[in-house]
Amino acid sequence: SEAPRAGLSPGEGSVVLEGVGPWELDSGLRVIFQPGHTRGHTVLLDKEEGVLFTGDHLQKSSRLGFLAAFRRYCWHSWDDQIQSMEGLWKESGGFRAVLPGHGQRLLCTSEQEMEGHLKRCIEWMKEVA
């Protein structure tokens, strides 16, 4: 017999996001649509604390030594993920820390330092495209 599958069907969540956002939650978090890693990937931005919760699509690479996305774990579209990262780079004024779901975090002393890391990540993503 087939094993049961866990998951949510559309409409079962406590908040259903429509459109492409960004969406502001009552908690002060901003939800930003970041397709690429998966078709519906989102990140959470806490502007007050300067923290971006990235889930699985972005972390500091111990091998590369800088902020990176991972093509090997890109389940939807690498091109979409590059576009998402470019949009995130434009939005980068507002966070100094990247906290991923897996891997190494990145803590910067300024938003400008973070902008440099995001720019380097995008350049690298295009190099390996």
**What's at 80, amino acid-wise?**
D
- Tell me the sheet residues that pair with 97: 51, 107
pLDDT in tens, 24-82: 888 889 999 998 888 888 999 998 999 999 988 899 999 988 899 988 888 889 899 99
Q: In whole angstroms, what is the distance from residue 88 CA to residue 69 CA?
A: 13
**Domain of 32, in residue numbers:** 23-127
| Rounded CA separation 88/84 (Å) | 6
Q: Whole-angstrom Cα distance, residue 121 to residue 22?
A: 22
Q: Tell me, yes or no, whether 3 lies in a domain.
A: no
Say which range, 68-72, 89-93, 106-110, 119-123, has the weakest mean pLDDT: 89-93
For the chain, the domain total comes to: 1
The answer to whether position 64 is within a domain reads yes
Q: What is the CATH number of the domain that holds 86?
A: 3.60.15.10
Domain-located, residue 31: yes
Q: Is residue 76 part of a domain?
A: yes
Kindly state whether residue 59 falls inside one of the protein's structural domains. Answer: yes
